[in-house]
Structure 1
């Protein structure tokens, strides 16, 4: 016969007795009284495997104060581990049971959701369990046999019922450190450049090819007013559909005299439809030509591209297992 108790507003706990030990994991704690007296609020067990996934138990011997703010109960949770390798939007539905050994009768108090419904684990909620698994008064009562010679035993069984990837999503992977690449473009005889637009040499950063595009006299409505400067993903046509590259970068025109460089930062996704980003009004032409400002020295202009962070994004289709 099953007994029921209220764990929280969302869960009713079914309590049954059985002879068989837990199938997947058992946690034995010695000197339980010292654990209660210590400042340790939470204990994480070692890892164990069930249903093709790695798990651990998270035990709050004096109760999880962050959840219900009440002492007097033991809180116990199941947490899924090693989820980095799972697809974006992953969900694992698992039915689990917790156990407390009655050492005097050699039987297990078994606790689980009364409705038998599986709990859902996902990236935003990797942990689930019971805020009030059992009261400390009941647990420490010697007639119940849960604590004998200051030793107690907890256990867990986990049965995965369903695995899925919900809808469509994206996978973002940062593939470089905080400084990915520095590229310097030294343009000689700048005032003699022929043509409206000029490109730097192609350079490679994080496996992709890039180049800087300068318009010495400005492009579009900025023509005759500002120098225009852009960063271009040179191999964007090789990206598969739905794939993009994220960049945080600085473009800079170097002040060769005073060290007061003109620079701007960009944060942008580059893909096969948007492969260029920058500023039409990067630097006033009057400032560029003013010798005292140091942007043009002996008819040499120095442009730097500083790629700070590079990541890749790949859209994931719907998947269900």
Structure 2
């Protein structure tokens, strides 16, 4: 016999709508001179079940003096190697014609059905005295009564993700020397591709023009390399420091990135990273080179089940 439900997991209330999984109507309860009545098999959540009613209570499960109700999964639903487990939430119902509603006995704890335990239920659904008292309406029109059950089968565990934040790098910096800076003519320039945190990246500089800001600012970005493809909803969190290096080694200009990279935005940085006036004054070395770097603090990684 299946295990009973703890009183602390049972919620009782009234509802208007009938059972969603199975209904069992008995025409004359007094003629059902059985300790246990099992329904025909019915299907719910891709499995076959039976509803079991103990009109006199299930004494073996501390149900004496009560109506006891259970559901049992068909053992053929559990035949596989390794054996299948089915998880389900159970709600038992008894109709009251007086209330014109169903008494709902819901077990808030999910039940695990497996070859060692094929039956779960509630041994003390409703006291026998309350059930048989005509004024309560559970028996009506010549001892008719109706029982039912809702079964909500929990879907198998197939979708997941694990997010980790890597802050241990063999060498967390990448440096780039931009030669002949004063002679640059293109709108933007890309560094060589480099790898960090299991991803490929480029640094991107707009030396004079970016989004209408002409001749005033250096724009500086970290972007995912062209060969990096992100899945739908995939995100990478990056925390890093972009720097323009002072040739004297004392006044590096630094700004932080603390952003999520995704398919719709594969580059983050600063449009007004450093004024060109300050750059010309302080940050070009004697060979007209601008030296920049990025230092990483964290790059996230997400492992996940196949997407939609």
Q: TM-score, normalised by structure 2?
A: 0.48
Q: TM-score, normalised by structure 1?
A: 0.46
Structure with greater Cα Rg: 2
